[in-house]
Amino acid sequence: MRLHDLRPRPGAKHRRKRLGQGESSGHGKTSGRGGKGQTARSGSSIRIGFEGGQMPLIRRIPKRGFNNARFTTHYIAVNVGDLNKFDDGARVDETALRTIGLANGRAAGVKILGNGELSKKLTVSASAFSASAKSKIEAKGGACEVISRKAENAKPATEPAKA
């Protein structure tokens, strides 16, 4: 097979709908735009949820309750089995995990989960540990250190006066 032999699968490509080709074509007269009005005009676009100036449904429905989702703490999950990439006796923290590519993206910290088996003695420093991960790390003679993000990001109690 060569590049010039490649074809899309049958039915994957459709013919372009030719509008305005007479009434008998099925796409004549109004060319699929319905009757008159705003949507029949060229360049018209109505945003989602717009009801012609009437109070939209999303604003008519009463809003109740409180959703705590925006205040949750999001951690990057790293499994115990992935920590075998480090050397025996190494110190593993968030910067080491990011360097090796196990923790990517923005989050409040790293949480070590217990999926997989650990074969090395490591000192792991993370924001949170699952119970199974902590037991697996300590079973191999390693140590788990819980770091607090609030202590790192806290401002000093007294700020110097600005001149």
What's the pLDDT tens digit per position in 65-82?
Answer: 888 888 999 999 999 999
Stated pTM of the model: 0.55
Sequence-ordered strand ranges (E) for the chain: 75-79, 91-92, 109-113, 123-126, 128-129, 143-146
Mean pLDDT of 13-40: 92
For residue 154, report the phi and psi dihedrals to the nearest 5 degrees.
-70, 140
Q: Residue 67: its pLDDT value, please?
A: 85
Q: pLDDT tens digits for 101-146?
A: 999 999 999 999 999 999 999 999 999 999 999 999 999 999 999 9
What pLDDT sits at residue 155? Answer: 52
| Helix (H), strand (E) counts: the chain | 4, 6
Among the four given CATH numbers 3.30.413.10, 3.40.190.10, 3.100.10.10, 2.60.40.740, the one describing domain 75-150: 3.100.10.10
